[in-house]
Structure 1
Amino acid sequence: MLGAGTQANPYIIQTPADLNAVRNNLTAFYELGNDIDMSGFGNWNIILLFDGQIDGKGHVIKNLNNSGTGNTEATACGLVSNTDSTKSFVVKNLGFENVNFNNTANAYRMGAITNFAYNATIENCFVTGKMATTTYTGAIAGLVRGVSSIKNCWSNVEIITTSNAYLSGIVAQAIENPVVENCYAVGLMSGAYKYGISSGASTAAINNFYDTQTTTTTTSGIGTGLTTAQMKDQASYTNWDFTNVWGINGDYPYLRVFGEPTPAANIGSVSVSSFLSNLSGNTETNKKKGITLESHLNPIFSITTIEKSTKKTIVGYSLPIGSSVQITSRTVNAESRNVNSFISPISSNVNAIFISPNIGNVNVISSVSPIIGLNNRHGKVSRNIESHISRLSAVSSAFIPIRNEVITAWCEAIYNRSCAVKIYNRSNLTIIENPSDVEVI
């Protein structure tokens, strides 16, 4: 460990191994350099006859596990112990978070910081976690005597017993009137004999409180029982220093040396619904005759419009680049003609310009895959116009009536398909312009 173990230059505890090494020099001064997680250390053995000082400096020891076995002091539960009336120790500014102690196989007293101590000074400390016991147990200390004091400490430890053990929120047994001052306890105790602060009494005990609702007891040799609401009210804590030592923020008081705690999130049932309708399809019917329109939108804006009264069926499938086939004049004779357009993958225009004296049915088919389609129908006789489009665009137009003419535009081969347009982050699309239009006049 860093340091020299003196009061001016204490040893710095930074790892579980450093904490365990305290037993190698029982009279030295120690400080924590950081929080220490003991979850991987295994079973902790209590440090006997400690005669030094540990200053946590506002750090915490987490997940300290201790299972007492046999009936010896060496296998009892606690961080340190001192059964010698000629020795003393100090533990201050140190938190114990989530201790897990089980002393059911050991008859010695139990406490998170000490199970038994002469001349112990414990200040500005807290303990949370669970303890199981068959003997005298206090969340902070099992027994203190001699010139001992426990000041400005709190506990929230669940203590369980199946025997007639005495359970206490701070110190199980207080002998020879130790100072117990400005402490509180809120942890649940399950057993026949349970006491809010201590089962014993002390003439030097002042300003101590325990939660009668959470501890499930109204009995204590030391301290005053309050309701949970009163325990969270600063006015309940007579003569406590809420400027330098304690703070309170609507919950139980906290020790300022550890910083203000972050309130736990109050999360209840939460429903979140997301409705995605980011693209638009518009279908308009402007005249009175029966008209069937179908628009398939995936996933780009499409508009289909009918503006004349002739009965027609129009199907439009859309997505981006163009092919156009147009008939713009009349044929000079009645013979059939075919116009083919092969596009890969950009636009092509094929125009058939001819005149015919005979007016009959006209079929204009543009089958484009994958292309956007624009279908315009001009004329008065019955006609079918179909456009199948995905990714490129096709335009098929018949402008004046002609007879027995077939014009076909076909986009068959699309090269380099891996370069087809792909739309990312679809949920953010709202309207994409450049629509596929179907118009019949």
Structure 2
Amino acid sequence: MKIKLIVAMLISSLLMNSFIVAPVYGENDEPDQTLLENHVGGLLDYTQMYGLEKNENEVIRYQPYLRSSAPQENNYLAIMVEFPDKTGTSLDDAQTLSKADAVMNKGNRNMETPNGSVPIISLKEYVEKYTYHKMTTKTTFLPQDRNGKVISVKLSKNRSYYMKKSASNPNGYTLTQAREREEELINEILSKSKESIERIFSASDLDKNNDGNVDAISFFIEADKVTEDKVEWSDLLWSHKISGMNLNVDLEGKKINTYNLINTYDSNYLGGVFSMNQGTYGTIIHEYMHVLGLPDLYRYNSSGDPVGFYDIMATTINYNPQGILTYMTSEYNNLGWNSMSEIKSSTSVTLNKPQYSNPSEKRAVKIVSPVSDDEFFIVEYYEKQNKVYTSDTSISDGLVVYRINSKVKNGNMNGTTAGKKDYLYVFRPNETGCGKGEGNLNQAVLSKNGRSSIGKPLNTTYSWNNDTLFYSNGTNSGITINITNSSSNSITFDVNVPIVQGDGSTTKPYLISSVNDFDLIRKNSTKAFKLLNDVDLSGVSNFQSISNFSGVLDGNGFAIKNLTLNNQSSFINTLSNRGIVKNLNFKNISIKNTNATHTGIFGTVNGQLENIGIKSGKIFNQVNDNGQYLGTGALAGLLSSGGIIKNCYSSASVTQGINVGGLIGLNQNGTIQDCYVNGAVSSGKKSSGAVIGTQYFISYDRYKQSENVLYDINKTKQNEAIGTVYGSDKLIDNKTGREGFIGVDLLKEMTLDLSGIKEKELGLTVKANPTTSLSKKVTIKDTSIATYNSITNKIQARKRGKTELTVSLPVGNNTMILSSTINVVNSNIPITSVTLNKQNMTLVKGTSETLKATINPSDTTDSKVLTWTTSDSKVATVDSNGKVTGVSEGKATITVRTSNG
């Protein structure tokens, strides 16, 4: 007879968002087909809830140089715990221990699942399989008497003491008491099992990695049937893990820093941890893999599934645990349990269905693009899992393709819906946005008879597209994968890796077209490069600086847009004496540095900058003045004596630093030619200058006098080109260190009067040392209002109005533009006429009407006072406002006169 029960809560090892109400059957009945099986991640972590600093175990790493070829064995302590008031199945009875031993050590039994019976893979078998027998684990059930019989710890307090306080449970705990009661619980368990553990294990047995902590320990707590247990999510007895609990009991001098508390439920019934009917032991395996060094691959605080069922560290199928992706067991954390080949160029590859016997079996390959050091792609043979829900495995065997972002630490725990903080991401169709993790994971595999390719070449798209193999910022890698053949045990595919255009020579430079191409510069800093187009960095919140460059970078007239540097100093930190950057523009840059380093688009310039234009942006360094000679400039923080800057300009603002200059922060007698500055400069803690913050001579040198270097006095807000000169006494040619600069200032507005001063000098002030004459081109937008006479250098008024005047000053290969407004007025505009709104008016005696007078022109400079008179006041009168009143029958003439008659 079937007895159908209603589950009011889910087994404790599942996460809170996996709660469901489901019908189940007794253990000997047919397994329920609807009981929720998935566990997203591992046990709940109470570390933060209890206010403990999270401090996970150091991992147990395989030691490849052990003298013995035997697998490295690790010990897992499973302490069985019972309450004095529970009368159900004991955890130390023979039947329960037999099931527990099958789950943890022996296997060799079947598990009933909603999809049929499957062989149990024990924790020991699982570890041996996925480490390729380089590691094994042995679970010991404790405590044991001296005859080896397991005798559960019998607690001194009833289970109700560790349940929440309520009207029906006045002995329970309040929220503020939860941590204290758990400490009490664990300390009692350890105290009562300490003798047994220390009798069986040595310190080295307990702590394989010698970090002072017990490697793996879990407390299996007696509980009721799944259908009857009243423990709820976040309760003290809900299954969870904790790190950092300050316990006062150690084992052979080893601390218990991290442990699992597992609510076992009744293992004679469905859903118990050790039950053979939909048992929930997958979580135990997940947690133990943490001990061996693997991270969580699910997001803690964001939605989306970057990995899903493809790895046990992402979504755990509790009663039929899935495997581990190849990269995680080979290269992650240097585990080295198996090997994986690396591909850097286009080729054909055959992958085989994994057998887990030969660690060199070719089940996956790593694809490295030449444009990124930090992110790469893995193609792996994935075998469809049997006897799980169709939603928990792929539609067939095939290739799963995923991306590794090595810059991310701690797995996927900090992943966001934008995917930028995911360590591992599985590519899948129907993705809704860049890295969101909302596409179809079941159809992620590639197969000969299904979706057989993925990826798009670079020349088709540079930005995110669901069909591309994209980097975490959405940029297309350009890598493509196409399956060409398959059998029951292998898949062959072609992989195409973008060919880097050019060879890095000056005649065939590497070609730069996207943000990822800058990795080429980082990797090949002595080579030659050339931009193919503008590169927009708006999607990069904090660009990684190029530390040192000694090659050639030709911007080809294109621009780098929206460069943002936070707590970094420069686009290129150091340009060596062999480095050349030329023909490159920057737009909308933002550099915010708080470090004691030279700050600017180029930090230290020992090489050559030529034809560099900074069109807009902001640069500042917030470091405190500690006496260091630190420079902050738009183009260069420091220009050394061997550095050269030619045909460059900056319109960016430089607003904070120690030695602040519109072009260069600190100049150590470098060469500056044909440059100009028209961006705001301010707030130098030591000095501020329109062009150079501080000119600093460190030896007896002949001054490399700047040539044709201009600055806009008004826009830079600086009267002097150089803020401060140090060491001018070291110059051997009687120079002051301030020569060679030209300050220019154009009146912002010029007023001319058609009736007065009709022409004026241009209004361009030139401050030069030594004095010089400037070549200039003056342009007036509307020459009907004013004109410019180049011979007299004067502006002449033509008619009233406003127009724009620009002065173009050639500076090397560039042009500096000054602008002004011309306002032409007329101070003497006489009245030419006055008109009335009526020529005839008929009034009845005693009535009135007001005439309206209009003075022409309306903008006259004459007085607009009007005089009103009547020819016969006996007929009609008029007041000073033009109001006419009828007095008697007759005719009268009303006259209005202006001030000029």
Q: Which has the larger radius of gyration?
A: 1
Q: Which has the higher strand share?
A: 1
**Higher RCO by CA contacts (8 Å cutoff, separation 6 or greater):** 1
